[in-house]
Structure 1
Amino acid sequence: MFNPINLKSVLAAGLLAAVAGSPALAEKLRLGTEGAYPPFNYVEASGKVTGFDVEIGLELCKRIGVECEIVTQDWDGIIPGLVAGKYDFIIASMFITEERKKKVDFSDPYYLAAMTHVVPKGSDITSFTNASLSGKAIGVQSGTTQADYAEAMYPDADVRLYPSQDEVNLDMANGRLDLQVGDMLPMLDWTTKTNDGSCCALAGEPITDPEFVGDGVGIALRQEDDELREKLNAALKEIRADGTYQAINDKYFDIDVYTMK
């Protein structure tokens, strides 16, 4: 005699067996970065995207138990790309500023930040005021806090905006600029470790005004992604505590960029 209860039991058991036998799909996130900001993020000749930002990001992915795909995006569109869902978080040396907080949320800082002036070696520029730089050609990457700073502080200068930091550096090395404003660590790396950067040197005091450098450098996330932000914050604390962060740091820098010491 047909027993509907037994049939339901058989179907339920078969469904459970099918689920149990199916391979679990790994959760995957997309990590957005610029890919044009060495030594923090850049593309090797092989096409691999790497750098301090990328290595830290991939380690954080590992600690929260997800696989991460690297997505590169030009700087001008990097926040719109996050908001539009092109990637799930940004780790690209982005200063945590009040203006950016209107559009995205941030993790805890994963390193501290300062900006600097860069001038050609032998330059007679020693003062960094609007009056002293009036008419001078100043290069900055567009859409950055460096651009905000140069335009606000030097309204009488010829502030020139470039799509990428590499293009600023190129014009600086070729003598087309009187100076530039950039993030201190990449500028230190460029002026001391590259052939074209040997043209130039850091000048003046570090620029640490919180209005422009914010609260450090953080991972940007969509404002609704609270759970992901908290997981990344916990993972960041973990890699700081167990020495993993320091090991990655030491591949790229002579100081601890988390403390700037």
Structure 2
Amino acid sequence: MKPTAVLAGLALALSATVALAEGLPDLGGRAVTVVTENAYPPLQFINGDGQAVGWEYDAMAEIAKRLNMTVTYENTSWDAMIPAVSGGQYDIGMTGITIRDDRKEQVDFSDPYMRSEMVMMVRGDEARFTDAASFAANDDLLMAAQPGTTPFYVGVYEVLDGNEANPRIKMFETFGAGVEALRAGDVDLVLTDGTSGNGYVAASDGGLKIVGEKLGAEDFGFIFPKDSDLVAPVNAAIAAMKADGTMSALDKKWFLDFKMGQ
């Protein structure tokens, strides 16, 4: 037998032992394809060394170890992700996806693995507005958003006038592109969950800041094709990781200790 085959066998045996020890389902080394965007730090992004890293990668690696499954990663854009997972092209999707009833019509969600609150991120020298009301009152101010995302809908219905075609909302293909437009002065506001927003601010050396009150809470979950048999095992692993402190350790690593750009 080749050495690589021996090592692979040992890895599967170890994973099976972990699953058994925790009372979790053992998926027997099942191959699972996970799709992500790599555009939402610190959940998932490409670091300075060209490596795909982040909170969700660490969490998924731990889930895979505990359930004895083998993960392969693919990439796609945000607007293509839910339809692709819904159509069975991928087994799991991860990119800070807010659990919403309308999305449940297309995909199944895991239990929440993270709760975050929406915040208003602006340039560090912004003085024209300090909250949602003063932003909405100034017709010269523009907001960046990705179509179909929670920040888009919060911007439309909680900040502006409920018109989804409002020209004050400038669309960008990725979250990072919207942030770059904010830095460049092409837009004046980016709405984001507090975890990502605080990471950007901490790494901006005063170039960005958070203003106003939080605009509500959202729960993030992994997505699956409807009726996927992976939902229950992944939920069991999430519950075990919450119970033993693994989730809290990941939060500390990526949201407290981590400085983006390193």
Q: Give the TM-score taking structure 1 as reference length.
A: 0.79
Which of the pair has more CA radius of gyration? 1
User: Counterpart of 1:248 in structure 2: which amino acid?
Assistant: L
Equivalent position of 1:199 in the other structure: 207
Is the 2:131–2:211 contact (alpha carbons within 8 Å) kept by the matching residues of 1?
no
Q: Secondary structure at the match of 2:213?
A: strand
**Is the Cα contact below 8 Å between 2:44 and 2:52 reproduced in 1?**
yes
1:147 corresponds to: 152
Name the % identity. 24
Partner of 1:126: 130
User: Which ranges of 4 or more aligned residues in structure 1 deviate by more than 6 Å?
Assistant: none
Other structure's SS at 1:114 match: strand
How far apart are the structure 2 equivalents of 1:181 and 1:158? 13
Is the Cα–Cα contact under 8 Å of residues 44 and 95 in structure 2 kept in the other structure? yes
The equivalent residue for 2:34 is 31
- Residues 102, 205 of structure 1: alpha-carbon distance in 2 compared, 3 angstrom cutoff: same
Partner of 1:114: 117
Aligned residues of 1:49 and 1:70 also touching (Cα < 8 A): no
Tell me the C-alpha RMSD between the 2 structures.
2.2
* 1:188 pairs with 2:193: no
CA distance in structure 1 between the partners assigned to 2:131 and 2:52 by the alignment: 38
In the aligned structure 2, how far is the partner of 1:110 from the partner of 1:86? 23
Are 2:179 and 1:169 equivalent residues in the alignment? yes
Alignment gaps of 5+ in structure 2: 1-8, 13-27, 258-262
Q: What TM-score results when the alignment is normalised by the length of structure 2?
A: 0.79
Could you tell me which runs of 5 or more consecutive residues in structure 1 were left unpaired when the two chains were aligned: 1-22, 256-261
* 8 Å contact from structure 2 (residues 37, 95) kept in 1: yes
What SS class does the counterpart of residue 212 from structure 2 fall into? strand
Partner of 1:13: none
Deviations 1:6-45 (A, max 9, x none): xxxxxxxxxxxxxxxxx89942101111111111001234
SS in 2 for 1:125: coil
Of 104, 108, 130, the match for 1:105: 108
Tell me, yes or no, if the aligned pair for 1:142 and 1:164 is still in contact at 8 Å: no
1:230 aligns with 2:222: no
User: Using the alignment, how far apart are the partners of 2:130 and 2:94 within structure 1?
Assistant: 34
Whether contact under 8 Å (2:131, 2:213) holds in the other structure is: no
Match of 1:254 in 2: 256
